[in-house]
Structure 1
């Protein structure tokens, strides 16, 4: 079971690396890790389990956040119609995106960042994601709003980018300049 102690914090080198593609079919080790990442998200959203194990709630978790520089991430959240999206993604790619941008009104947070960071994080309002899943399926998902933001946040982790790198004018610790076209 992944706990908060297993989450790598900002300043760690692995969070700034471009993660490596994952060989398919998935090894038993990679399969177990991705399932554990998804289970963390589910557990973190269950009030009883989260309190018992002191888990911070999360909607997404990327492999670099648990110290593994591989192109995998998990999401567990709902869309604006309350439809659940619970996936483990392998070698995900954003294949297209809208021109229109959006952001979360109160900014973004991150399990790897133990402090509040104020500022608007510009994201594409809609993205089209292609990836393999834990179940061995190849999926193409059109995502919008919060789901699109979560996916872009996790994709950034796979590319060594932290959410605050995208905040205009932010000059805090560990800041790295990132061109907007980095997605």
Structure 2
């Protein structure tokens, strides 16, 4: 029996996902463009954020989306991202993974995103070793990925396994077809 996308995330989280690939482009700006929403409003409105990320899922068909990234960290965003995560968790079901890419080892932020239903936590910044251990333990308890993702360039996709993200955030003018090609390339053409 084939695993669902969320099942693959849980396998990766449990160290049993060596053969699984989850292609998750870091493309919130493209999601805002697809939804035709101004960036600032997109960041702080949970409806716009959930709808835009859902539109990205529909347009590109990745294995998941980043519900927050360090570039999105503006006043009011965390609350909007948490509500958008809860909504996406319901609408996407087991068909997509939701990843919180955080700029630091903020245990409270991780706790909030775990409660909202993320499937993975990526720490971009340097975390205090004690906080990093706490976060890893929390993620393990919740069967959520807390791994360093494989980063693959948008313009040079290669097959990879585990959690795979673009090598940086995709600009708003990223071509949707190029991003879909990236997803297919990371999956090995599947």
TM-score, with length taken from structure 2: 0.26
Larger RCO of the pair (alpha carbons < 8 Å, separation 6+): 2
Larger fraction in helix: 2
TM-score, with length taken from structure 1: 0.27
Larger fraction in strand: 1
